[in-house]
Amino acid sequence: MKMSPALLIVGALMVFWASTFIIVGLPAMTMKETPSAIWRPMAEDEREGHRLYVQNGCSYCHSLFIRINDWDIGAERIAESGDYVAQEPAILGSERTGPDLSQEGGEHPDDWHKAHFINPRFTSPISVMPSWEFLGEEKIRKLTAYVQALGWKQADVRVARQQHWKKSAVVAYEAGADANITWLHSQVPAVWRPMPNPYPATQAALLRGKRIYQEFCVNCHGPIGDGKGPAAAWVYPPPLNFTTLRRHLEANRYIGGIFYYQIMNGITGTGMPYFKKHLESEKIWDLANYLAVSFLGYTDANIEPRGIDASYEEDWRNPYHPPAKGGD
Amino acid sequence: MPKFFDKPQSASLAFMVAGAFWFVVGALYGMVSAIHLVSPEFFSNIPWLVFGRERPVHVNTMLYGFAGTMLIGSGLYYIPALLRTKLWSERLAWVSFFLWNITIASGPLCFAFGFTQGREYSEYVWSADIILILSVLLLVYNTAMTIASRTEEQLYVSVWYFMAAFLWTAGNYPLGNVIWHPATGAMPGLIDSLFLWFWGHNLPGLLITPLATGAAYFVIPRAAKMPLNSHTLSLLGFWLLIALYSHIGGHHVLQSPIPNWLKAVSIVDSVAMVVPVSIVVLNLWLTARRQGKAVWGDPAARLVMAGIAWYIVTCIQGPLQSLPYLQRVTHFNNWTIGHAHIAMLGFGGYIALGAMYHVLPLVTGRSLYSQKLVSLQFGLITFGLTGFFIVLTMAGLIQGNAWNNGETVYRVLPELAPYYISRAALGISILTGASVGFYNVVMTVLAGRELSIAELQQGEEAA
Ligand code: HEM
């Protein structure tokens, strides 16, 4: 075969347009824009937030669809084509430097997002997300409206839950430090409260706890646990001051189970996120021991009720004494 | 001044110098992006230098600005040379030059201030899209007219690739950029991802690949002083490329809820891409067979050969990562970034550089300012890119496997730090390489030793 100009030009165009017909023509003719069960239209603010998402290149670090093998945020629902109706553009994303955001709505209350957008390190100390403070308050509000809508009807349910509990948390906080803690602990299921930390508070465990604290908690609760990290200026109620917990031990002895439950589940409505997707059981218990020893000067690790020691454990006896009745 | 724009091959030279310049600009933006992934508080809160805005400047400047521009430059030389005629219109080529570079300059000028359509590889704003399409149409016209006014009967394979690259792009680019929706440049709903990745895949596949393949087909036989191994193989490679490559954009959104038949097509044809790629690579390697010393000893041809080597690696990786089972781990993370770099810089960029250094003396009538600097650039970029490929692939496997085992994105971040740091350090090597290259090009134009007529004729005739 000899390549003539006509063959080159006509042939190259014909093959190209035939492929184009198959790859974009057929889908354009057959794919239907049918809303999925969770879809809803975007409100004006959300739409403007979406523009900001596109203009600022959030999509280079965040994806907007969940796959069957995902475990992170949103993994409870696999993406469907009807989730994207009328979005223009629906940028699916090709990179997860940060987590998928397709179900981000209601994961956190608005004040968490505000702190996070102003400086992501405030809420997430090792984040590599850029600060967006330069966008200004109004744009950050719209961006927040958009991310709070992600997940559509499912997000609306979560956002309503955040708002519901925010009210109670604010009332409790404004009633004073002790009343607040009493309220917080009253939300922890009764079986968890009198539960000691089953992990020995060895030197190694405390070091592990410290490392996790610095990667996840330090910019809210502060390096000395007084709740005065840089995020405190933005989240309300502010992060808890752990040092006051000394006077709130359950039965004047127990704190491990409360810590475990609060860290695992978070306190919906406040800035306090849940950590059960990030951290497995041992890591949370190590954290609980670290908080207790560093900021309360007491841990309930390994005290009664306890069963047979696990095979790897040393013969560790708890050297800490509970505070005298009433704290200090 | 008009004289200036009529000077034979002046547009070719302009494209190549601009390509060398954009390489430096792209590398600078890449460098800052890499630093931001290590230390987000470095240059923090500067609106025009925030990761989400600087990354598209980096990517577009490298693809269109460096690889694309430089490859067009060498093409504007070899097309008339292979057809034994002059470029049909030098002035028209200059118009293409200005239009093309306006679009590229719109990257740093617009994205940095939030003017972007935000879809990967289709970010340029609507007016820049139109300008780029005009530039491409003019290139189509100019090339077609040059072919029409040829004195050489046979159309050499490089001519097909160059001509076809623009024919395809003229249809491809407007479609993928949804230019009939000027405000967003996008379709509503999920189908947009098909339009997007149709172009997103064809930009490397049907613009950069044919331009680079055409340039390699030009340089290798000349450097080896051997005729092309097989005409039939080049025909097969050409037609299979367009028949298969245009079907596989779906592999970029393989795990999203696009229709299953599209996934099947994109996987099957991705794997089938092994065939055209092997054909091209074999044809070129066989042409250079037993001429290894001549080819690898010539700094320009060495870059082209190394580009082909990167092409092989890219195209072994490509079909593998389009397999759904493997893509569960390799998608969404630095693995893909590793692939994209060996493809764009390794394959497209190396061949662009090699072809440019090969053509530059013929266009300027001056010998290269320094062969040593070409070798130095080769060394710097090869060190940087090999390192990139290793660390990004490792980081990608760590991310992908950790996520697949249930660890969250946030928890894996600290494990990535050493790789991000290495990548930034290696970036310095590539940035230095880009700068050395630009310096060498500028010095060649300004101060290269003028070649005698005899030397020039010898150079041009090697074909
Ligand atoms: C020949 C066979 C090739 C195949 C089958 C192939 C396949 C793929 C696949 C499956 C992906 C997506 C990976 C993922 O997101 O998980 C990808 C990404 C990419 N490929 Fe290739 N590739 C090939 C060659 C090339 C060449 C020659 C180039 C450039 C000249 C190239 C440039 C890119 C780029 C830039 C990306 C990154 C896209 C992004 O930003 O997500 N590829 N390739």
DSSP string covering B264-276, please? Answer: HHHHHHHHHTHHH
Residue B128: give the domain boundaries.
2-462
Quote the pLDDT of residue B341.
98
The per-residue b/e assignment along B397-408, b for 16 or more CB within 10 angstroms, e otherwise, is: bbbbebbeeebb
Mean predicted confidence (pLDDT) in A86-93: 95
- Indicate the residue type of B282: L
Burial of residue B446 (number of CB atoms within 10 Å: 0-12, 13-18, 19+)? exposed
Start-end of H helices in B84-125: 90-110
CA-based nearest distance B453→chain A, Å: 33
- Indicate the residue type of B49: L
Q: How far apart are CA A111 and CA A173, in angstroms?
A: 15
A window 157-196, beta carbon within 8 A of B: none
Quote the pLDDT of residue B190.
96
Domains A37-156 and A175-296 alike in fold: yes
| Ligand 1 centroid, distance to B89 Cα (angstroms) | 35
Burial of residue B432 (number of CB atoms within 10 Å: 0-12, 13-18, 19+)? middle
Quote the pLDDT of residue B463.
47
Choosing from B123, B320, B321 the residue with most ligand 1 atoms within 8 A of its CB, the one to mutate for a pocket test is B321
Measured in residues, chain A has a length of 328
Q: How far apart are CA B422 and CA B429, in angstroms?
A: 11
How big, in percent rounded to 5, are the helix, strand and coil portions of chain B? 80, 0, 20
A224: left (phi over 0), alpha (psi -120 to 50) or beta: alpha
Nearest to A56 among B38, B114, B168 (CB): B114
Half-sphere exposure of A200 (CA within 13 A, CB side): 14
Mean predicted confidence (pLDDT) in A53-71: 97
Q: How far apart are CA A290 and CA A259, in angstroms?
A: 10
Task: Enumerate the residues of chain B whose CB falls inside 8 A of the CB of residue A80.
Answer: 257
Choosing from B119, B263, B308, B314 the residue with most ligand 1 atoms within 8 A of its CB, the one to mutate for a pocket test is B314
Residue predicted with more confidence, A327 or B152: B152
ipTM of predicted complex: 0.95
**B328 token code pair:** 């569960």
Q: How far apart are CA A87 and CA A82, in angstroms?
A: 11
| Ligand 1 centroid, distance to A41 Cα (angstroms) | 34
Q: Cα B297–B302–B305 angle (5° rounding)?
A: 130
Task: Enumerate the residues of chain A whose CB falls inside 8 A of the CB of residue B410.
Answer: 99, 124, 126-127, 278
The correct answer on CATH 1.10.760.10 for the domain covering A37-156 is yes
Burial of residue A308 (number of CB atoms within 10 Å: 0-12, 13-18, 19+)? exposed
For residue B450, what are the β-bridge partners? B366
CA B181 vs. chain centroid, Å, equals 27
pTM metric for this prediction? 0.95
Q: Is A120 helix (H, G, I), strand (E, B) or coil?
A: helix
Nearest to A60 among B55, B403, B411 (CB): B55
- Indicate the residue type of B202: N
Q: How far apart are CA B362 and CA B459, in angstroms?
A: 7
Q: Which atom of ligand 1 is nearest to the CA of B121?
A: 40
Residue A8 at interface with chain B, using a CB cutoff of 8 Å: yes
Superfamily of domain A175-296: Cytochrome c-like domain (1.10.760.10)
Do residues A161 and A106 make contact, with C-beta atoms less than 8 angstroms apart? yes
Based on its alpha-carbon atoms, the radius of gyration of chain B, rounded to whole angstroms, reads 21
Domain count, chain B: 1
User: CATH no. for residue B382?
Assistant: 1.20.210.10
Name which of B179, B38, B74, B167 is nearest B122 in CA terms: B179
Mean predicted confidence (pLDDT) in B425-430: 98
Q: How far apart are CA B230 and CA A281, in angstroms?
A: 65
Burial of residue A211 (number of CB atoms within 10 Å: 0-12, 13-18, 19+)? middle
- pLDDT of B390-411, one tens digit each? 999 999 999 999 999 999 999 9
Strand intervals (E) in A48-178: none
Residue A21 at interface with chain B, using a CB cutoff of 8 Å: no
Domain ranges of chain A: 37-156, 175-296
Mean predicted confidence (pLDDT) in A265-285: 97
Quote the pLDDT of residue B448.
87
Task: Enumerate the residues of chain A whose CB falls inside 8 A of the CB of residue B44.
Answer: 130-131
- Written as one string, the DSSP assignment of B351-372 is HHHHHHHHHHHHHHSB--S-HH
For ligand 1, which residues put their CB under 6 angstroms from it?
A 94; B 120, 204, 208-209, 251-252, 270, 273, 277, 314-315, 318-319, 321-322, 327, 330-331, 336, 339-340, 343-344, 347-348
Q: How far apart are the first and last CA of chain A?
A: 95
Based on its alpha-carbon atoms, the radius of gyration of chain A, rounded to whole angstroms, reads 25
| Ligand 1 centroid, distance to B319 Cα (angstroms) | 9
- pLDDT of B154-193, one tens digit each? 999 999 999 999 999 999 999 999 999 999 999 999 999 9
Percent of chain B exceeding pLDDT 70 equals: 99
Confidence of residue B462 (pLDDT cuts 50, 70, 90): low
